[in-house]
Amino acid sequence: MDVKAAVAHAAGQPLTIETVQLEGPKAGEVLVELKATGICHTDAYTLSGKDPEGLFPAVLGHEGAGIVVEVGPDVSSVKPGDHVIPLYTPECRNCEYCLSQKTNLCQAIRSTQGKGLMPDGTSRFSLDGEPLYHYMGTSTFANYTVLPEIAVAKIREDAPFDKVCYIGCGVTTGVGAVVNTAKVEPGSNVIVFGLGGIGLNVIQGCRMVGANMIVGVDINPAKRPLAEKFGMTHFVNPQEIDGDLVPYLVELTKGGADYTFECIGNVNIMRQALESCHKGWGESVVIGVAEGGKEIATRPFQLVTGRVWRGSAFGGARGRTDVPKIVDWYMDGKINIDDLITHTMPLEKINHGFDLMQEGKSIRSVVLY
């Protein structure tokens, strides 16, 4: 079928809106009509050409919501008409990783996903007879996409697509890093580095679990009012303090934070986030994605003396199990998504959404189909 897509033809080039061809679902796959998709910084990272797994030409996008319109053979968990959120971290419930119960990183289809292909090693998208690559197994910058059954979370039908699409990445990543990865306890002191689409969700997760100090660090002072609305208790602009940031933050938190979260993708800030942790027990969670070739460093003494460095992908969430619950949290008013969606636009204006993010003028832009 013909579908409308924003195609990434080459690194560093704007997306172009085109009519592309999409093959129907094969065994174990579903065809989804997307209703909305958010634009995440990771899409911009891959488009920049710095992602070692970035492939072109491709249909990017990984933060969508829509309706199943057709299922291939052997699909049993969803049916046409079901409302779903695509999962770039699938949940097969059968691989070694899923069965371990120690990680959300299902590996059932990870190798083909990283090659921009469906699990059978082929693409469903093409343009004038030439294949287009899928992206993160989701390719939500198109009004229809094909997904493996294990990569969709069925959600309640009264949830608005234009809001819950954000649960497909940013909301789950931020809130999940707090509740699943760090398991922040009530009364904790936390520092959040980067107050964008991910960091503000970390902040609201910290408030939800009853954190005490929630310190936000960002070089863009325009992020402050919304961060305060979401629960930030102290704002630090590294460009406005005297001296080094780490001792400043350790002093502010009276010995260091119980938990810190890096939500930028900058390896120097990752180090500062670790070293701002409390001696003996502080834990730092890396969420930001740093470009290929970058490495993190610290004095091993930081770890010897009890600080813990860990990472979090998709907020440690098991998508088919946890995403419907996060949709319920939103519908029950436990988390705020509406105020984080600062801009909406049609697919034709998607490059403007990227510009707003790069200029620090948006939190989340959502494309409405």
For residue 283, state whether it binds ligand NAD (rule: CB under 6 A).
no
Q: According to the binding rule CB under 6 A, does residue 314 interact with ligand AHE? A: yes
Q: Are 9 and 16 in contact (CB under 8 A)?
A: yes
Q: Which is nearer to Zn ion, 25 or 197 (CB)?
A: 197
The DSSP element (H or E) to which 71 belongs, if any, is: strand 64-71
Residue selected from 34, 106, 169, 200 as contacting ligand AHE according to rule CB under 6 A = 169
Residues 120, 137 contacting (CB under 8 angstroms):
no
Q: Taking CB within 5 to 8 Å according to partner kind, which of Zn ion, ligand NAD, ligand AHE, none is near residue 24?
A: none
Per-residue contact string for residues 248-287; x = within reach of ligand AHE by CB under 6 A? ----------------------------------------
Under a CB-based contact definition with an 8 Å cutoff, are residues 161 and 191 in contact?
A: no
Residue of 29, 165, 169, 320 marked active site: 169
Which CB atom, from 42 or from 143, has the smaller least distance to ligand AHE? 42
Contact 277, 310 (CB under 8 A): no
Contact flag: residue 296 with ligand NAD (CB under 6 A): no
- Give CA–CA dist 215/109, Å, rounded: 38
Burial class (CB in 10 A: 0-12, 13-18, 19+), 276: buried
110 is catalytic: yes
Residue 52 interacting entry, from ligand AHE, ligand NAD, Zn ion, none, C-beta within 5 to 8 Å by type: ligand AHE
What DSSP string describes 167-185? GGTHHHHHHHIIIIII-PP
42 makes contact with ligand AHE (CB under 6 A)? yes
**Backbone angle region of 293, left / alpha / beta, with phi > 0 → left and psi within -120 to 50 → alpha:** left
Site for Zn ion in 33-52 (CB under 5 A): 40, 42
Q: Which of 2, 19, 52, 243 binds ligand AHE (CB under 6 A)?
A: 52
Annotated active-site residue in 106, 165, 263, 277: 106
Please tell me which residue in 29, 37, 46, 63 is annotated as part of the active site: 63
For the question of residue 149 being annotated catalytic, the response is no
- Is the separation of the CB atoms in 186 and 280 below 8 Å? no
Q: Which residue has the tokens 């200029």?
A: 359
Among 132, 169, 263, 341, binds Zn ion (CB under 5 A): 169
Contact by Cβ (8 Å): 297, 270: no
Q: Does 271 bind ligand NAD (CB under 6 A)?
A: no
Residue 233's DSSP bridge partners are none
How far CA 54 is from CA of 10, 105, 216, 248, 341, in Å, comes to 10, 20, 31, 38, 26
Residue 347 CB coordination number (10 Å): 20
Q: Which listed residue (167, 269, 277, 327) binds ligand NAD by CB under 6 A?
A: 269
Q: At what angle do helices 267-275 and 245-252 cross, to 10 degrees?
A: 40
Residue list 156-175, contact with ligand NAD (CB under 6 A): 169-170, 173
**Could you say which residues in the range 284-303 bind ligand AHE, by CB under 6 A?**
289, 292
Of 29, 37, 40, 83, which is the active-site residue? 40
Contacts of 1 (CB under 8 A, 6+ apart): 21, 22, 24, 144
Residues taking part in catalysis: 40-42, 62-63, 92, 95, 98, 106, 110, 169, 364
Q: Applying CB under 6 A, which residues contact ligand AHE?
A: 40, 42, 51-53, 89, 105, 110, 169, 289, 292, 313-314
Contact residues for ligand NAD, defined by CB under 6 A? 40-42, 45, 169-170, 173, 193-199, 217-220, 223, 238, 263-266, 269, 287-289, 312-314, 357, 360
